[in-house]
Amino acid sequence: MDLKALKAQESKRKISKGYMWALFCAVFWGIWYLPGTVVWVLNPFDEMYGEIAGASGDAVSLVVTAVLITAFNALTVMLALMLWNGVLGKFGELGRTLKEFHPCSKWFFLASIFGGPVAILGSFMAMGFIGGAFAAVAALLYPVIGSVLAYYWYGEKISKRAATGIIIIILGGITIFGGGVITELAAGGVPWIGYLGGLMAAAGWGIEGAIAGKGLDISEPDVGLTLRFLGENIIWWIIIVPILAIVGYPMYSFAFQAFEPLTLLVLIFAGITFGFCYVCWYKSFPLIGVGRGQGIGNLYGLCAIIFIFLFFGDVPAWTILVGGTLCVIGSFVMFTEETAALETLRGE
């Protein structure tokens, strides 16, 4: 076999692995909705929500409880990533990357700002003020922002075929959640703070992907993502949770009560799914590019519907079947792209 053929074979293997990681991301993200949903009814979060809602109203209560749940989620994600890095023997690399703040760590800390308090909090705001379906649709738009930023910032190539695939998957996602969005929007006035949250989710995850793509030029995805979550833990536990406690919300009293077997178990499984989903997302970026990684990752909408149907018994509507078909078509449009077109992910 000549050198050219070997190079082509290597490139094909790399791309298929990239799609595999993006698919793993979608599956873990979809299954995360199981622990992510049930944790809200468990104590102490259930009682915390009730207590704060009594004093400050439902909307404020939802955001403050979401902050504590997200902070615990970030903590258990960190544990899951320690296991991941331990199994892969990457603790040494972790220390080395952490020390190199200027060339690489700074990108991951910056990514944690856009991914944590901007995207995740924005998503919870959209959920609380408008509804879950709207939040999911708003978040589905993040590959558009991610791929456009990656294109203008560091010239990542987006072929017509990849753009078509991303658009079909986004249309599929909108169809999946479309019925719910119409009901939610028809139900109330104009909850502008919810729309702001939706915009924060789409922009936050899109910008995070583009920043991560830059940081991953010079570091490992597994350790890069761990540093990104180290940054998110610092933001929640050292900045936001103490500020909310100073303002007068009972953050610490409820945080200590979270150490209850069932709550901890659900949080740990949320951490495994969210952590592994994120690490697979980051692993796909250097192999297939930010735009494609995020586009395939968007199949989480379809995966979430499947897992919710199987485990919660919620029967999907016809819109979900149409949307799901669109998602699968969009994925195939991207999978079947000539590998030669993907040999270089960046422009000259």
Partner 1 sequence: MVQTAAAMEAYNAYWANSFIPGAEIMWMVLILILAVIALWQARTFVSQF
Which distant-in-sequence residues (6+ apart) come within 8 Å of 122 by Cβ? 196, 197, 198, 199, 200, 201, 203, 204
Q: Which long-range contacts (CB under 8 A, 24 or more apart) does 150-156 make?
A: 150/209, 150/210, 150/213, 150/289, 150/290, 150/291, 151/291, 153/210, 153/214, 154/213, 154/214, 154/217, 154/346, 155/346, 155/347, 156/213, 156/289, 156/290, 156/291, 156/345, 156/346, 156/347
CB of 4: closest distance to partner 1 in angstroms? Answer: 20
Among the listed residues 11, 37, 159, 319, the single contact to partner 1 using CB under 8 A: 37
Residue 309 binding partner 1, by CB under 8 A: yes
- Residue 174 CB, nearest distance to partner 1 (Å)? 26
Q: Is 219 in the site for partner 1 (CB under 8 A)?
A: no
Q: Is 91 in the site for partner 1 (CB under 8 A)?
A: no
In this chain, which stretch among 37-45, 60-68, 114-122, 316-324 interacts with partner 1, using CB under 8 A? 37-45
Q: Is 321 in the site for partner 1 (CB under 8 A)?
A: no
Residue 43 sits in the site that holds partner 1 (CB under 8 A):
yes
Rule CB under 8 A: choose which of 6, 9, 41, 155 binds partner 1.
41
Q: Is 255 in the site for partner 1 (CB under 8 A)?
A: no
Q: Which of 19, 26, 28, 295 binds partner 1 (CB under 8 A)?
A: 28
Q: Does 93 bind partner 1 (CB under 8 A)?
A: no
Counting contacts by CB under 8 A, is residue 24 touching partner 1? yes
Q: Among 34, 63, 64, 75, indicate the residue that binds partner 1 (CB under 8 A).
A: 34
User: Cβ of residue 296: shortest distance to partner 1, in angstroms?
Assistant: 15
DSSP H or E run through 131? none
In the complex, the smallest distance separating the C-beta of residue 86 from partner 1, rounded to whole angstroms, is 10
Q: Is 319 near partner 1 (CB under 8 A)?
A: no
Place of tokens 């909705």: 33
Tell me how far apart the alpha carbons of residues 63 and 200 are, in angstroms, rounded to a whole number: 14
- Contact status: 222 vs partner 1 (CB under 8 A): yes
**DSSP class of residue 31?**
H
Please, is 87 exposed, middle or buried when counting C-beta atoms within 10 Å of its C-beta (0-12, 13-18, 19+)?
exposed
Rg of the chain, C-alpha, whole Å: 20
Phi and psi at residue 314, to the nearest 5°: -80, 115
Which residues make Cβ contacts (< 8 Å) with residue 139, sequence separation at least 6? Answer: 119, 123, 198, 201, 202, 205
Q: Supply angle C-alpha 131, 31, 231, rounded to 5.
A: 80
| Closer by beta carbon to partner 1, 46 or else 159 | 46
User: How many residues lie near partner 1 (CB under 8 A)?
Assistant: 41
Interface with partner 1, residue 44, by CB under 8 A: yes
Residues engaged in binding partner 1 (CB under 8 A): 13-14, 17, 20, 24, 27-28, 31, 34-35, 37-38, 41-44, 46-47, 84, 87-89, 222, 257, 260, 262-263, 265, 269, 272-273, 276, 280, 283, 307, 309-314
